[in-house]
Each structure stands twice: as structure tokens, then as C-alpha cells.
Structure 1
Amino acid sequence: MSLSPFFRSPFTDLTGGMISHQILGQCQKQEMRYMDCLEAYGLDRGQVKCGQLFEEFHECQTKTKQFKRFMAMRRERDRQIAEGKLKGDEQYLNPKIDSF
């Protein structure tokens, strides 16, 4: 993972903030916590010390855990349908409002 450009110039400083989640992104808080940690420790030590913050930020961006949960629930529903536990209208019922 490389966060710092190979060649630094005023142009790279001006355009570096264009790729971020700070304007309309849903991962604003995670990104700021990670960047603040990197600023405090520096790039080399920060990648080790701020690893947990990066994982949270990466999960917010990619939503891999959320997708894996969704697929596990879908597999369980398909298994129950194949076993005959869910039939007819019960197969694809939505959860009740405020049930979680």
C-alpha cells in the first residue's frame, strides 16, 4: 500500500485532496481518524500503528463483511427452502418493522 506519491510537487499537494470521502462520502469519520493517526505517527510507523483504523476504513469502503453476512443469510434461506422448512409465502417474507 502506497499513500505517498513517488515525486512530490506543489501539483501533487494541490490534487491530493481530490480523492477522499470528505465531501459526500459515507466514510468520512473513518478516513479522518485514519489520516490523523498517519499524521501523528508518520507514514512508515503509521501503517503499523494505525492498522486497525485502516481496516475499519477499508470495510466502510468495500463492505465485504456486510456482503458475506448477506450471502450467509441467503444460503441459509435457500437451505431451508430446499429442506422444505419454508414453503409458499413464507419463503420470501421481509422482517417485521423494528424487529432488529
Structure 2
Amino acid sequence: MKVVVVTACPTGIAHTYMAAEKLTEAALSQGHDVKVETQGAMGIENEITPLDIEEADIALFAVDIAVEGEDRFGSLKVVKVPVAEAIRNPDAVMTQLGRSVSAS
């Protein structure tokens, strides 16, 4: 499964990047292809491109604020989880995504 992920929290510092790291590790350990865009204090980093979206099976927003450019993901099923959930239970979040793709 190819997953595109956006992480963002209100301050855009620690939790945004912690969620990105945990979700990347969980996705790779489950054999998924993943690209994570962070929307933090430094702005958008590792921006997800139109090609990334076209090739993706699903999008995950691990966010506590609105996603900048959310309309880019209109062609994908989007699953949203709080940042804290992504940090605490990244494997469960990735498993949930797999089920969502299978159910589509």
C-alpha cells in the first residue's frame, strides 16, 4: 500500500515531527511505501506532490489543526487521527489504514 501522510499540530514543533517519525517507522515495518509531509513551525516540509497523490492508495492526516492545501487530496480516501494517537499507536493507525483501503 502506498500512503501519503500529513502531520501538523498547533505549535508545529515537537509533536508534528514525532508523529511523522513514528508513522514512517510503522508504515515501513508493515511493508508500506510512505511519504510524510510535515506542516510545522518551519512551514511545509517534504511536500507531497500531485504525482505522490496520484500514486497513493490512501491519505492519512495526523493533525490537530486544519491541513494546508487539503483540497489537493480530493481524489483520495482520507483518514484523520489526532497527532497524539499517531505518536502513541502508530502501528494500529497503519493497520486501520490497511483496513480502510481493503474496504474501498
Bin of the TM-score, shorter chain as denominator length:
0.3 to 0.5
What TM-score do the two structures reach when normalised by structure 2?
0.33
Higher relative CO (Cα under 8 Å, sequence separation at least 6) belongs to 2
What TM-score do the two structures reach when normalised by structure 1?
0.34
Larger Rg: 1
- Relative to its length, the structure with more strand (as a share) is 2
- Relative to its length, the structure with more helix (as a share) is 1
